[in-house]
Amino acid sequence: MNYPNGQRKTLPVRKTPSEKESKSFSNRGMTLEDDINITNQFYLDTNKAVIHKKPTPVQIVNVNYPKRSAAVITEAYFKQASTTDYNGLYRGKYIDFEAKETKNKTLFPLANIHDHQISHMESIIGHGGVSFLIIRFAAYDETYFMETEKLFSFWNDKLKGGKKSISYEQVKQNSFLIPFQYQTRVDYLSIIDKLYF
């Protein structure tokens, strides 16, 4: 490329992904949260549901203003523990769920869930809402929909001194596999339709 001052600039050459990378779904570069956000946007665009990621409540303490257009937050704290990741409405029902991704191949650690989240999910169910957990095993690129009631049984077992995790096999047996699709990457509403409508 030639610039007005006569200097030449060479543009970097784009590397094409290897054949193995392009065939593998695990190398798409998307996280579970990205996939759910794309799915939720599709639901919103097609007027199917209104479900959003909850913002994490943060208290800003210090901001650096090097210039007016470039403020930088230099210190902030979480105001309170967040409840679950997503909430909204679908077919007149309140929807509230947590999404977790694990790199572990054999189990889902219950340490990924917190007491206040369990209490929140219990409240949602107690008021007639729909609450669930979405678990992705990144190693297998498999995503599962687990009803909160099933999660509670594993959680209560843990509180009684039982296992501190749910095995991969138990997740498969007690959950619904959510197949990956192009526009609805994590189509959890299709499972809600089967369970509640």
Tell me: the pLDDT tens digits for 52-85?
998 776 777 788 887 777 778 788 776 666 789 9
* Total-model pTM: 0.77
| Any domain includes 32 | no
Task: Report which of 103, 181, 171 is spatially closest to residue 137, judged by C-alpha positions.
Answer: 103
Residue 179 domain boundaries: 37-54+82-196
What is the C-alpha to C-alpha distance for residues 45 and 99, in angstroms, rounded to an integer?
22
The tokens for 43 are 């639901």
DSSP secondary structure code for residue 112 in this structure = G
| Any domain includes 154 | yes
The tokens for 143 are 């995503």
Which CATH number is 144's domain given?
A: 3.40.1350.10
| Any domain includes 91 | yes
- Annotation: binding site for Mg(2+): 83, 85, 98, 117
- Annotation: binding site: 83, 85, 98, 117
Number of domains in the chain: 1
| Any domain includes 73 | no
Please list, in sequence order, all residues whose beta carbon lies within 8 angstroms of the beta carbon of residue 171, skipping any fewer than 6 positions away. Answer: 108, 135, 137, 144, 146
| Any domain includes 22 | no
pLDDT digits (tens, 9 = 90+) for 5-42: 555 544 444 444 443 333 334 334 469 999 999 999 99
The dihedral through the CA atoms of 113, 120, 77, 33 has a sign that is positive
| Any domain includes 5 | no
Q: For the chain, how big is the Rg over CA atoms in Å?
A: 21
What is the C-alpha to C-alpha distance for residues 120 and 114, in angstroms, rounded to an integer?
10
| Any domain includes 171 | yes
What is the C-alpha to C-alpha distance for residues 163 and 104, in angstroms, rounded to an integer?
16
Confidence at residue 66, expressed as pLDDT on a 0 to 100 scale: 79
| Any domain includes 120 | yes
